[in-house]
Amino acid sequence: MSDNYIPVVDFEAYNLERKECLQEDLTKIGKQLVDAFSNIGFVYIKNHGISESYLKNLETVTERFFTSPDEEKQRYARMGRKTFGWIGIGKENARADPSLPGDYKEAFNIDGNLFTGNKSDWPDDIAPGFSCGIKDFMERARKLSFRILHALAIGLELKDEFFFQKCHIKINTSKNPTTARSLYYPPLPDDLLPNQMRLGDHCDNTSISLVFQDDVGGLQVLRADRVFADATPIKGTVLVNIGDILQHWTNHKLLSTIHRVIIKQGELRNKLVRRSLVYFVIPDDDAFINKPLVYKDESLNEVNIEPHKLITAKDWLMEKFAGYWNFTEDED
């Protein structure tokens, strides 16, 4: 499987260290993003402005939490229908099939509701620096997401090039469900269950998702020919994919692609640990995600739907969320 199946877009002209970007560079980047998201749904972005050393330091902080005893982590477990908190091995089943084993991974979710939450909500006692590290990452990821959404609007030739940014302006607040997720895939046991996966086949319920993965690999993307291709880690890049919300919003001009994390050959024998940090970008609660986009070329504009049929991002997620993640425990 070719490592070049997913294209690489260079953000050097518009990375987080630059205040401005020339219009011609923005247009070029935007067109490359649209081309990738229209055909594959995924793209690697290099020179994005979040350094490898920064991510490595954050990984060290989060690993302190995940390698703590389960009884310690349980004090910070995700409860009820809240997003925030720790999720243990097998507690999620992305394939939503109770006959199959749950995903062999752990996760810690952080959303806008507790971005400024109480100190006691954060596991800083067992992982010092966890809260400030994750909060800082979420701010950097928000800024990078805004640049991606800006370039994407230009690539799509929307009339308002800041339209997507405006619909995500409340990110990292209680009015927006955008979520950071620290993922930890521990060493596999010798008695691994049949059909076990790290993370089952799924699409994201997002606008875009930013995936910072380590070099272990295992992530696969479903190609148009219905064959899974490896999303081989590329040093210094962030892997970005389109989610169901933006696919719907663009009337399927952009593709939300099925992906998964498999157990690679030799992983069981070598007791490898896989880590990733994902930023799931979702529109503001009150953003209408089925209202037709307005293009510079008016011939591309669709007929506006009736106001009473408009759907907000919050409504969309309330309908989709339960079916997307199938928790194996009763959380009511």
Over residues 240-254, the mean pLDDT reads 95
Model confidence at 326, pLDDT cuts 50, 70, 90, reads very low
Per the domain annotation, does 1 fall within a domain? no
According to the model, what pLDDT value does residue 265 have?
Answer: 80
Cα–Cα distances in Å, from 11 out to 20, 35, 42, 231, 289?
A: 12, 15, 15, 19, 27
The answer to whether position 2 is within a domain reads no
pLDDT band at 81 (very low <50, low <70, confident <90, very high): low
| pLDDT above 70 for 321 | no
Number of domains in the chain: 1
For residue 312, the surrounding DSSP H or E stretch is none
Does residue 3 sit within a domain? no
pLDDT at 3: 54
Q: 103-161: per-residue pLDDT in tens?
A: 999 999 999 887 766 677 899 999 999 999 999 999 999 999 999 999 999 999 999 99
Residue 332 domain-assigned (yes or no): no
On the question of pLDDT at 299 being above 90, the answer is no
Which helix (H) or strand (E) element contains residue 267?
A: helix 267-270
User: Exposed (0-12), middle (13-18) or buried (19+): which is 52, by Cβ within 10 Å?
Assistant: exposed
Predicted local confidence at residue 309, as pLDDT: 83
Does 45 map to a domain?
A: yes
Q: How many CB atoms lie within 10 A of CB 332?
A: 5
Q: Quick check: 67 pLDDT over 50?
A: yes
What is the share, in percent, of the chain residues with pLDDT greater than 90? 71
Print the domain residue range for 33. 8-327
> Which helix H or strand E contains 138, and what residues bound it?
helix 130-155
Evaluate if residue 308 carries a pLDDT over 80. no
> Which residues, in sequence order, are CB contacts of 141 under 8 Å at separation 6+?
50, 180, 210, 279
Given this model, what pLDDT does residue 310 score? Answer: 87
Q: How high is the pLDDT of residue 327?
A: 41
Residue 1: pLDDT band with limits 50, 70, 90: very low
pLDDT top residue among 154 and 290: 154
CATH number for position 101: 2.60.120.330
The whole-chain average pLDDT of the chain stands at 90
The pLDDT score that the predictor gives to residue 116 is 67
Q: Cβ-count burial of 297 within 10 angstroms (0-12 exposed, 13-18 middle, 19+ buried)?
A: exposed
| pLDDT tens digits along 4-48 | 689 999 999 998 888 888 999 999 999 999 999 999 999 999 999
Distance CA 226, CA 210 (A): 23
* 330 band by pLDDT with thresholds 50, 70 and 90: very low
Question: Residue 126 falls within a domain, yes or no?
Answer: yes
Reported pTM: 0.93
Q: Identify which of 237, 209, 299 has the alpha carbon closest to the alpha carbon of residue 6.
A: 237
Task: Give the pLDDT mean for 55-70.
Answer: 96
